[in-house]
Amino acid sequence: MFTPPIQRMINFAYIKNRTLFFVFNHPVGKQEFDNSIQSIKSALKFLMPQECKECDENLFDDIKAFVTHTPKKQEEEFKEIMQVYKERSSGNFEINVHDEKLDSLIRSIQEIIKSRK
């Protein structure tokens, strides 16, 4: 029912006291939701999900939305995305730098690479 960007901004939804609540993680998602709330209400009157038909026909009377400022836990997503690569450099390269600070920094990086091989 929502566009993919709006779907990503919905944290979750729940029903409480005959009101369907949508919880957003960004104010723009709530604003877009508020702009289309009447069309959502009318669509739900005509196309009630199958799970809701088996329950009480009037499962909820109102639809509301709010923004939560609690950050989402995304550690699991990062673990899937993060890849570890094997060091491809052997650390055998020339250092032709005249600046002493930069030279010592490059040499320390070179030693780290050599120690990991």
pLDDT digits over 51-98, tens only? Answer: 555 555 566 778 888 898 776 665 555 555 666 767 677 888 888 989
Comparing CA positions, the residue from 60, 72, 85 lying closest to residue 26 is 72
- Cα separation of the two ends of the chain: 53
Q: Rounded to 5 degrees, what are φ and ψ at 4?
A: -55, -40
For residue 104, the SS3 value is: helix
pLDDT for 105 equals 92
Q: Does the structure show a pLDDT above 90 at 104?
A: yes
Q: Count of CB atoms within 10 A of residue 9's CB?
A: 20
